[in-house]
Structure 1
Amino acid sequence: MAAEPSPPPAAPPQPPGRRPALPAVEPLLFLATLCVGLQGPLATQYLWDRLGAERGYHGHNGSGSAGCGNSSAGADPLRQEVEALVSHWNLYINLGGFFVSLFSVTLLGPWSDSVGRRPALILPTAGLALQTATYLLVMYLELHVAYFLLGRILSGLTGDYNLILASSFAYVADTSERRARTFRVAVLEACLGTAGMVASIGGGQWRRAQGYVNPFWLAFAASLAATLYAALCLRESVRQRKPARLFTLSHYKAVYRLYTAPEHPSARWKLILYSLAFFLLVTVHFGSKDLYVLYELGFPLCWASDLIGYGSAANYLAYLSSLAGLRLLQLCLADTWVAEIGLISNIAGLVVISLATTTPLMFTGYGVLFLSMAATPVIRSKLSKLVSEAEQGALFASVACVQGLCSLVATGVFNSLYPATLHFMRGFPFLFGAIILLIPAAIIGWIEIWDSKHDYNAFQDAAPSPAKD
């Protein structure tokens, strides 16, 4: 008599509250970052060309034409006027977009904790498509550059790129284990670097060959593809969804309660201190990134669009090198000390860039930044571990709020500081950023030392006292 077939082995138990094998959110973040990465440097160069042509300046964005390759170019008043004007328009456009998104992100982020992550990913990617379409209309119809501000505000109303980041990180927190969360967050950030690198190299070469319009069409296609992926392919990561009103103050209160009534009293201070460290670090990242292209366009570097693309790619390469470095350093160091090494890399790279007067020295500065992005995934992961699984949505909404505030402050401070310091040190904003980064380095180190002492004291209290004779 034939033996009955044995039953198939039972599937391994899944952690409670998790959904196995959900589609990855990384492709959506890649497409959205590709869209933003194409728009950023090209929009600055377009402003340079348009505003320079309106004022009769013909030194075409650092392509080596007359007026940039000699020592008298540094004192060219017309060039300095165009440079300051482009910096101010960047300030107005970024300020308008981020000021609107600061409120929309903190509204939509907690809302996604109830209704799910997918709506909070569909809305901002559609907003990016609307912004890119507005930019294309400005170029086709030669509208005033103030319409760039309108495009940014439209994107800001739907959450802007910050909401895409916040929802993506919340999606990863929903679907990852605590012990692997730091690396999962780093993988997500590596997607930012990969997409940014592709956009930088491709955008610079493409713009040099065919102008601005075609690269912006690719940005528009990428934003549409991200919207469709969120709507059709991505599955929901929030298990217990419930209907919730969108326009209510309760969403803002959820973020407030996170910092005022956490589960443990010590967690409140850690949340505040880690958020302050994150704020300062990301503010320097945003502020310096806003100025790289303008710094490279000006005298004495005078880079053309292809070199600008390579420079942006080298900057984005830090995401991938930081991922590899974080993975290796985690084998022998705690996450905190990995973050400290990343901050040292960031500080040293900004100091070198602030003194760069030649192309090799500028690329050396980009090379020293190879671990500069290792600190942000560590901070995000530590913040995520300070709250319960049911509070991840509110947490990343607060992180999005901080990140929106970072952009607001960075564009205000760095884009105002750059034209104000052109006459004595062109690279002063980067040196200023390096000094600011000493503060998060001190905060992260102090928390680690405090935790070590606390754990040691707890161990001593738990140890049995020696028996008396």
Structure 2
Amino acid sequence: MDERDSVAILPDDETATNGSCLGQEDAVRTTGSLRARCACKCPLPVSVEPVLFLSMFSLALQAPLSTQYLWDRISEDLGYNGSKTSDCSNSSLLPDPLQKEVETLTAHWNLYISLGGFSIGLLVVPLLGSWSDLAGRRAVLILPNLGLALQAVVYLVVMYLKLPVVYFLLGRLLSGLSGDFNAILAGCFSYIADTSDRSSRTFRVAILEACLGLSGMLASIIGGQWRRAQGYINPFWLVLATNLAAALYAYLFVCESVVPDPSAKLFTFRHYKAVWHLFSTGGSASDAGGRFHRWKLWLYTLCFFLVVTVHFGSRDLYVLYELSSPLCWGPALIGYGSAAQHLAYLTSLLGLKIMQRCLEDSWVAVVGLASNITGLVVFSIADTTGLMFTGYGLCFLFVAATPVLRSKLSKLVDPSEQGALFASVACVEGLCTLVGSGLFNSLYPATLHFMKGFPFLFAAIILLIPAGIIGTLECLDKRREHRDS
């Protein structure tokens, strides 16, 4: 028997619904004994939301600054300063070959750094996520934040000593070995699955998504202004402090949602086997739904993969697109643009709550995808600041699809399989980052000569696939329900 079979998670209606354990003595049946579900009392009315908020704040603060630092260092090495001249916004001039070289090298270095970090994270994240089913969720919240803090230290050393940008890759590798930000996502969403019931799960997941947006919006505004006033080094000290604060909060205040097993081993193939078993058989819940249930699990995972790949891949290009001609944005406008993008997390939460009153979750996701598609189409032809911000405005519901997909996947498996599921989702999310960064950072320089915004148009076309799958599955579900009744 697998060691994870000795602990069974309580059904949804027997778990806490307020986001934390609140010190109750919920019992979890084990082989021959009953043990308390929670390992400690939670002194705060929130659970993992502050951890995700702080971690995302750190990530959103450093991501645009890292790209701008790469741009400035490569420009300095090549002797390019075109973006600082008045000719940059003059669209009548021929494209500067040196600018194209800077754009290409910056995109390639973004690609190398992303590939290096997330290829390792792709192996580590499912290991940590499945292990948290036995060892507890807090470890998966603490270790990745410490890894991200170590990455910030490496970046600071590079900036202080003006080392070659290849050392950025070393920082990403160290962060990937600790699970990176995807492991934090896996731990937080697993925790919410542990502590929420089926009826409230979609909105609870959406609250976590809103935490991502709020922290990202604040970090983007602060980062753009701060970089213009004081350069790159001081903001990265805040990145380091924020990751350490998130790890400390998780250690002091987050209550365990599962009973830790002291004998749980981290380095074992059983964790990978648990993930494979879930998708090869459809899990225990597939007994009721048969083959259709297993196909739904795969199809919703495919939808999640496509949506998140587009999110991650296009996100890497916004700063490059805005830095270069004809937009030629400075740090302040880049910060405002990133803030507008993250504001959509809050508008999506509000829109999801309103649309749930009259629409099924599936149709809420389709509306969110339609919002994303229209915004991407506008980005693909944006050549003025006003048009660029119009695209950001049209994307006001673009995050509504991901909490729906996470919730639907969670509801397809038994409560005892939530950890293995979110380990799988974390693995898919790591793969999304890998594929998205590789695809879009390669596509952008390759299409500069005929359509600068083509990657955004390509992303919009991709999103038509999950929109069609989600709508079709919802129609099939309604038909089955009508036939069974």
Task: Please classify the TM superposition score into its range, dividing by the shorter chain length.
Answer: over 0.9
Q: Over aligned residues, Cα RMSD in angstroms?
A: 1.3
Deviation string, structure 1 residues 300-337 (Cα, Å, up to 9, x no partner): 00000100000000000110000000000001111111
Residue 382 of structure 2 is aligned to residue 349 of structure 1: no
Residue 282 of structure 2 is aligned to residue 259 of structure 1: no
Structure 2 distance, partners of 1:433, 1:313, is: 21
Which residue identity lines up with residue 81 of structure 2 in the other structure?
H
Shift of 1:70: 1.8
Pick the aligned partner of 1:29 from 23, 34, 52. Answer: 52
Shift of 1:73: 5.4
Structure 1 distance, partners of 2:247, 2:93, is: 45
Q: What does 1:128-207 align with in structure 2 at a 5 Å threshold?
A: 128-207=148-227
Residue 69 of structure 2 is aligned to residue 55 of structure 1: no
Which residue identity lines up with residue 25 of structure 1 in the other structure?
V
Shift of 1:16: 2.7
CA contact (8 A) 1:74 1:299 kept: no
SS at match of 1:371: coil
CA contact (8 A) 1:29 1:168 kept: yes
Structure 1 distance, partners of 2:369, 2:123, is: 29
Q: Which residue is 1:465 aligned to?
A: none
Structure 1 distance, partners of 2:247, 2:57, is: 13
Residue 303 of structure 2 is aligned to residue 277 of structure 1: yes
CA contact (8 A) 1:118 1:236 kept: yes
Structure 2 distance, partners of 1:169, 1:328, is: 22
Structure 1 distance, partners of 2:375, 2:249, is: 37
Structure 1 distance, partners of 2:401, 2:216, is: 19
Shift of 1:106: 1.1
Q: Which residue is 1:463 aligned to?
A: none
CA contact (8 A) 1:39 1:216 kept: yes
Shift of 1:241: 3.8
Deviation string, structure 1 residues 23-49 (Cα, Å, up to 9, x no partner): 410001010001100110000000011
Q: Which residue is 2:35 aligned to?
A: none
Pick the aligned partner of 1:361 from 387, 391, 409. Answer: 387
Structure 2 distance, partners of 1:205, 1:162, is: 28
Q: Which residue is 2:143 aligned to?
A: 123
Mark the structure with the bigger radius of gyration: 1
Question: Runs of 5+ in structure 1 lacking a partner?
Answer: 1-13, 460-469
Which residue identity lines up with residue 159 of structure 2 in the other structure?
M
Residue 247 of structure 2 is aligned to residue 248 of structure 1: no
Structure 2 distance, partners of 1:73, 1:182, is: 50
CA contact (8 A) 2:447 2:454 kept: yes
Residue 250 of structure 2 is aligned to residue 230 of structure 1: yes
Shift of 1:242: 5.2
Q: What does 1:245-324 align with in structure 2 at a 5 Å threshold?
A: 245-261=265-281, 262-263=283-284, 264=286, 265=290, 266-324=292-350
Which residue identity lines up with residue 315 of structure 1 in the other structure?
Q
Structure 1 distance, partners of 2:410, 2:459, is: 26
Deviation string, structure 1 residues 405-436 (Cα, Å, up to 9, x no partner): 00010011000000000011000000000000
Shift of 1:446: 1.0
Structure 1 distance, partners of 2:214, 2:235, is: 17
CA contact (8 A) 2:134 2:259 kept: no
Shift of 1:239: 3.5
Structure 1 distance, partners of 2:302, 2:294, is: 12
Shift of 1:17: 4.7
Shift of 1:69: 2.3
Shift of 1:260: 1.5
Pick the aligned partner of 1:340 from 340, 343, 366. Answer: 366
Shift of 1:267: 2.3
Q: Which residue is 1:3 aligned to?
A: none
Deviation string, structure 1 residues 166-224 (Cα, Å, up to 9, x no partner): 11000111111110000000000000000000010000000000100111111111001
Deviation string, structure 1 residues 374-399 (Cα, Å, up to 9, x no partner): 00000000000011111111000000
Q: Which residue is 1:71 aligned to?
A: 91
Structure 2 distance, partners of 1:73, 1:170, is: 53
- Cα separation, partners in 2 of 1:88 and 1:210, compared to 1, 3 Å: same
Q: Which residue is 2:229 aligned to?
A: 209
CA contact (8 A) 2:15 2:196 kept: no
Shift of 1:58: 1.7
SS at match of 2:56: helix
Q: Which residue is 1:45 aligned to?
A: 68
CA contact (8 A) 1:17 1:239 kept: no
Shift of 1:65: 2.1
- Cα separation, partners in 2 of 1:382 and 1:214, compared to 1, 3 Å: same
- Cα separation, partners in 2 of 1:216 and 1:449, compared to 1, 3 Å: same
> Between the two proteins, what is the percent identity of the paired residues?
63
Q: Which residue is 1:5 aligned to?
A: none
CA contact (8 A) 1:74 1:300 kept: no
- Cα separation, partners in 2 of 1:358 and 1:393, compared to 1, 3 Å: same
Structure 1 distance, partners of 2:135, 2:154, is: 30
Question: Runs of 5+ in structure 2 lacking a partner?
Answer: 1-11, 23-41
